[in-house]
């Protein structure tokens, strides 16, 4: 079994608990424990923003209040995840050490306040948090209830202070091996006379400074990731030095664009993240919101493919920071929680247990409202999920497996976003999401991975808009296809090296023309109301189907590739838009234009058939996943529609939630879920 933590062989259910806000109300603290038990809560996250209570005055510490609470929780069967409080600074610290406050992109230092805005380079800040973390390790490290450290909170943002500037210069000096000429070459600084004579001249991309050098912008983002990761590591090191056996996480914020989560994920033991979708909004279907969330879970799961992840935060009712904060519909609570487990989570965590009386989050949803009663809809919904999670105990430690990988890469995302030209409608993230959704609708699991990840075992590798290719990646791709793998790439593939210098000799560059058997002579960027078509000859070669394309159209010059689709309009009507090249034992598909989802699905179906991937017949609005371990297989079906949905050809098994035997046909009620433990794999 791949349990997420050695001690934990059951699904975790709980969330952020802020007892420090209620220390003058022992009645409430006692009631909390009773109600947690009633709500089937077995874990809480503590201390995330407790610095000013731990250390009200510099050097004077107080941890007893939390020790008492943790003892009490543990005696009542509730584990603790303990945060380090670096996410928000006490007033005394900013007053005495203003250098700990972050400097914004305009070069101006923040005032005291808010959160998530410390300078991650500041030696003073690192020193102060190291002292505090050492106390945490010493006081709580051996507590029986402690199962996980939670570093800071949703690390993010950038700092433009002088200290960070100098660290950026050092980072560049290391990267370019002290060779300023090389940096100038890679950043192409002769353009507009931007050459640097020394590393000391280089500044971060201040708002009113140098924002036009793509290489600089990209290196700044890499630096920020490195610096934030370095800060996080400095906290981890303290904890691990003092406490060996407790694993470490940090809570990611969805697909936050400012930090390369692939880099950060390497440094933590367990992946956890915070999910706050706008359920039941007025601009998309419920299943669209759900499928988007499944993509987010997919990215998180894929960071560590050998372990479940944790849903650290989600709201039990509404949030307070969306433009409109609708109540979470009763059925959605169950659906979204079980969806997370279907996608590989072994914990459902909420923000928050009890609403605070005042300040910024006083109207943020919680298990317990200001009303203070447990006979509420939200409390019942939460309790029900807790019960379901108990029934799903056998699923704990099982994993999702996939025959398909897709590259979704932060460096590539940054480079595409910064690219000046072509079209405003670059939509890298949306394009990846759309591909994922096609696979999900067809019941085909997909790992979402970086360029560094191993992809040798997949039958298919999907490479949407792989504009920036890291060193060595093209060779790995060619190797993979030579050995029988299949890749599918699109317009905007292989334009630049890792520092955004264009490849010469045509796109796709870096040796990829050989793989795809073509080169691109030009790329047309269409206006939003323009469109073209791609006509694909069907198997019989007698008739064809046509799909709409928008935004990007490559003008393709095939060399060895076979043309499978041609443009229908404009001056390039009749020229190739879709090709395939057989390379070694494998195949390399190239999609030269942004084809609509129907077109992509048509193409994928053809590919799946060729390479032996079997799609599943799923009714519209149904999400399907499979988790398994050495002994058992669990199938998840989630219905996001207001209709009963029938699914045929169901393998024999037991519904883990109701205990009923299932075979052949499954009927799922509107907004309901079914988790089946398959019989043939039962012990
Ligand atoms: C998260 C954050 C929590 C809380 C929550 C509200 O992003 O980590 O501390 O603010 O949002 O939705």
pLDDT at position 625 is 98
Centre of ligand 1 to C-alpha 44, Å, is 15
C-alpha angle 26/31/33, rounded to 5°? 105
Q: In Å, what is the CA distance from 24 to each residue of 20, 21, 28, 122?
A: 9, 8, 9, 35
* Helices then strands, each counted (H, E), the chain: 17, 25
pLDDT surpasses 50 at 509? yes
Q: Which of 240-249, 252-261, 297-306, 583-592 has the lowest mean pLDDT?
A: 240-249
Ligand 1 pocket test, pick from 45, 87, 154, 155 with the greatest ligand atom count within 8 Å of Cβ, gives 154
Counting residues of the chain whose pLDDT is more than 70, the rounded percentage is 99
Instruction: Determine the atom of ligand 1 nearest the C-alpha atom of 154.
Output: 8
In the predicted model, what is the mean pLDDT of residues 414-424?
A: 96
pTM for the predicted model, two decimal places: 0.98
DSSP state of 138: H
DSSP string, 424-473: S---HHHHHHHHHHHHHHTT--EEEE-TTS--TT-SEEEETT--B--TTH
pLDDT one-digit tens code per residue, 37-95:
999 999 999 999 999 999 999 999 999 999 999 999 999 999 999 999 999 999 999 99
pLDDT tens-place string over residues 378-399: 999 999 999 999 999 999 999 9
Diameter of the chain measured on Cα atoms: 83
Task: Please tell me the distance between residue 88's alpha carbon and the centre of ligand 1 in angstroms.
Answer: 13
Mean pLDDT along residues 485-495: 98
How does pLDDT run across 207-262, given as a tens digit for each residue?
A: 999 999 999 999 999 999 999 999 999 999 999 999 889 999 999 999 999 999 99
C-alpha 351 to ligand 1 mean position (Å): 7
For position 243, what pLDDT does the model report? Answer: 84
Nearest to 477 by CA among 356, 325, 397, 583: 583
pLDDT of residue 368: 98
pLDDT at position 580 is 98
Range 645-661 average pLDDT? 95
pLDDT attached to residue 682: 45
Q: One of 20, 55, 154, 235 is an active-site residue; which one?
A: 154
The verdict on whether 235 is a catalytic residue reads no
**Residue 306 pLDDT level (bands cut at 50, 70, 90):** very high
Q: 141 C-alpha vs ligand 1 centroid, how far in Å?
A: 25
* Dihedral over alpha carbons 185, 188, 189, 195 (to 10 degrees): 10
- SS3 state at 523: strand
Q: What is the pLDDT of residues 318-376, one digit of tens each?
A: 999 999 999 999 899 999 999 999 999 999 999 999 999 999 999 999 999 999 999 99
Reported as a single tens digit per residue, the pLDDT across 80-98 is 999 999 999 999 999 999 9
Mean pLDDT over the full length of the chain = 97
Torsion sign over Cα 160, 166, 169, 173: negative
Active site residue 154: yes
Looking at ligand 1, which atom is closest to the CA of residue 276?
A: 12
Angle at 312 between CA 7 and CA 670, to 5 degrees: 105
- Write b or e for each residue in 407-424: b if 16 or more Cβ atoms lie within 10 A of its Cβ, otherwise e: bbbbbbbbbbebbeebbe
Grade residue 628 by pLDDT with cuts at 50, 70 and 90.
very high
Sheet arrangement for strand 43-46: 248-249, 146-150, 79-83, 43-46, 12-16, 345-350, 309-313, 272-274, 251-253
Pocket of ligand 1 from Cβ distances under 6 Å = 153-154, 253, 274, 276, 313, 319, 351, 361, 364
Give 492's DSSP letter: S
Region 198-212 average pLDDT: 98
Kindly give the distance from the C-alpha atom of residue 153 to the centroid of ligand 1, in angstroms, as a whole number.
Answer: 8
- Please identify, by atom number, the ligand 1 atom nearest to the C-alpha of residue 48: 9
From the alpha carbon of 153, which atom of ligand 1 is closest? 8
With a cut of 90, say whether residue 528 has pLDDT above it.
Answer: yes
Given this model, what pLDDT does residue 7 score?
Answer: 74
Mutate to test the pocket of ligand 1, among 20, 325, 351 (most ligand atoms within 8 A of CB): 351
C-alpha 15 to ligand 1 mean position (Å): 11
Residue 542 — very low, low, confident or very high, per pLDDT cuts 50/70/90? confident
SS3 362: coil
Residue 244 is predicted with a pLDDT of 84
Catalytic pick among 55, 235, 313, 601: 313
Q: Which residue has the higher pLDDT, 538 or 167?
A: 167
Closest of 557, 429, 554, 411 to residue 490, by C-alpha = 554
Estimate the crossing angle of helix 286-303 against helix 330-342, to 10 degrees.
30
Mean pLDDT in residue range 477-490: 98
Task: Please check whether residue 395 is in contact with residue 656, taking contact to mean a CB–CB distance below 8 angstroms.
Answer: yes
pLDDT band at 6 (very low <50, low <70, confident <90, very high): confident
Residue 2's pLDDT band (cuts 50, 70, 90)? confident
Name 656's Cβ contacts closer than 8 Å, sequence gap at least 6: 391, 392, 394, 395, 634, 675, 676, 677
User: Which H or E run contains 533?
Assistant: strand 532-537
- Kindly report the number of other CB atoms within 10 A of residue 246's CB atom: 22
Contact 350, 315 (CB under 8 A): yes
pLDDT of 603:
98
């Amino acid at each position: 079994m791949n349990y997420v933590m050695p001690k934990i062989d059951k699904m975790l259910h709980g969330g952020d608990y802020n007892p420090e806000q209620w220390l003058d109300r022992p009645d409430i603290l006692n009631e909390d424990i009773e109600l947690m038990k009633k709500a089937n809560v077995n874990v809480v996250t503590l201390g995330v923003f407790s610095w000013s209570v731990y250390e009200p005055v510099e050097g004077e510490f107080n941890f007893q209040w939390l020790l008492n609470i943790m003892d009490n929780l543990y005696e009542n069967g509730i584990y603790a995840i303990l945060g380090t409080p670096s996410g928000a600074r006490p007033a005394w610290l900013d007053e005495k050490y203003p250098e700990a406050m972050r400097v914004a992109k305009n070069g101006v230092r923040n005032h005291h306040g808010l959160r998530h805005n410390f300078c991650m380079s500041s030696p003073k800040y690192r020193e102060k948090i190291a002292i505090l973390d050492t106390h945490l390790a010493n006081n709580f490290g051996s507590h029986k209830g402690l199962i996980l450290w939670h570093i800071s909170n949703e690390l993010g943002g950038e700092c433009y202070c002088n200290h960070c500037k100098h660290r950026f210069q050092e980072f560049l000096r290391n990267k370019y091996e002290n060779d300023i000429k090389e940096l100038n070459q890679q950043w192409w600084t002769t353009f507009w006379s931007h050459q640097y004579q020394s590393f000391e001249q280089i500044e971060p991309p201040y708002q009113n400074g140098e924002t036009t050098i793509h290489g600089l912008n990209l290196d700044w983002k890499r630096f920020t990731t490195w610096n934030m990761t370095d800060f996080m590591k400095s906290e981890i090191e303290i904890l691990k030095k003092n406490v060996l056996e407790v694993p470490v996480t940090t809570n990611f914020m969805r697909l936050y664009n400012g930090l390369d989560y692939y880099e950060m994920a390497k440094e933590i033991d367990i992946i956890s993240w915070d999910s706050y979708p706008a359920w039941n909004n007025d601009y998309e279907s419920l299943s669209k919101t759900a499928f988007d969330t499944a993509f987010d879970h997919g990215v998180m799961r894929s960071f560590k493919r050998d372990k479940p992840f944790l849903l650290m935060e989600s709201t039990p009712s509404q949030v307070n920071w969306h433009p409109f904060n609708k109540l979470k519909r009763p059925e959605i609570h169950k659906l979204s929680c079980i969806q997370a487990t279907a996608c590989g989570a072994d914990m459902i965590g909420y923000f928050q247990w009890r609403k605070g009386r005042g300040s910024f989050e006083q109207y943020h949803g919680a298990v317990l409202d200001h009303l203070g009663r447990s006979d509420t809809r939200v409390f019942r919904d939460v309790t029900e999920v807790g019960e379901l999670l108990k029934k799903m105990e056998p699923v704990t430690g099982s994993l999702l497996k996939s025959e398909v990988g897709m590259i979704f890469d932060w460096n590539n995302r940054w480079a595409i976003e910064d690219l000046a030209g072509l079209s405003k409608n670059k939509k890298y993230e949306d394009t990846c999401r759309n591909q994922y959704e096609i696979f999900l609708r067809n019941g085909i699991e997909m790992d979402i991975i970086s360029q560094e990840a191993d992809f040798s075992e997949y039958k298919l590798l999907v490479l949407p808009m792989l504009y920036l290719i890291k060193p060595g990646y093209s060779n790995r791709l060619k190797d993979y296809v030579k050995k029988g793998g299949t890749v599918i790439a699109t317009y905007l593939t292989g334009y630049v090296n890792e520092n955004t210098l264009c490849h010469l000799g045509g796109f796709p560059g870096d040796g990829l023309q050989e793989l795809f058997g073509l080169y691109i002579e030009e790329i047309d960027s269409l206006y939003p109301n323009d469109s073209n078509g791609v006509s694909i000859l069907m198997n019989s070669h007698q008739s064809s189907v046509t799909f709409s394309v928008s935004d990007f159209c490559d003008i393709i010059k095939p060399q060895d590739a076979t043309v499978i689709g041609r443009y229908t309009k404009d001056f390039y009507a009749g020229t190739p838009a879709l090709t395939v090249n057989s390379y070694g034992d494998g195949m390399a598909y190239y999609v030269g234009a942004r084809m609509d989802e129907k077109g992509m699905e048509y193409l994928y179906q053809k590919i799946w058939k060729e390479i032996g991937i079997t799609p599943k017949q799923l009714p519209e609005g149904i999400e399907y996943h499979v988790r398994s371990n050495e002994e058992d297989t669990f199938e998840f079906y989630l219905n996001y529609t207001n209709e009963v949905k029938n699914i045929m050809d169901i393998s024999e098994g037991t519904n883990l939630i109701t205990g009923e035997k299932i075979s052949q046909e499954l009927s799922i009620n509107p907004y309901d879920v079914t988790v089946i433990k398959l019989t043939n794999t039962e012990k």
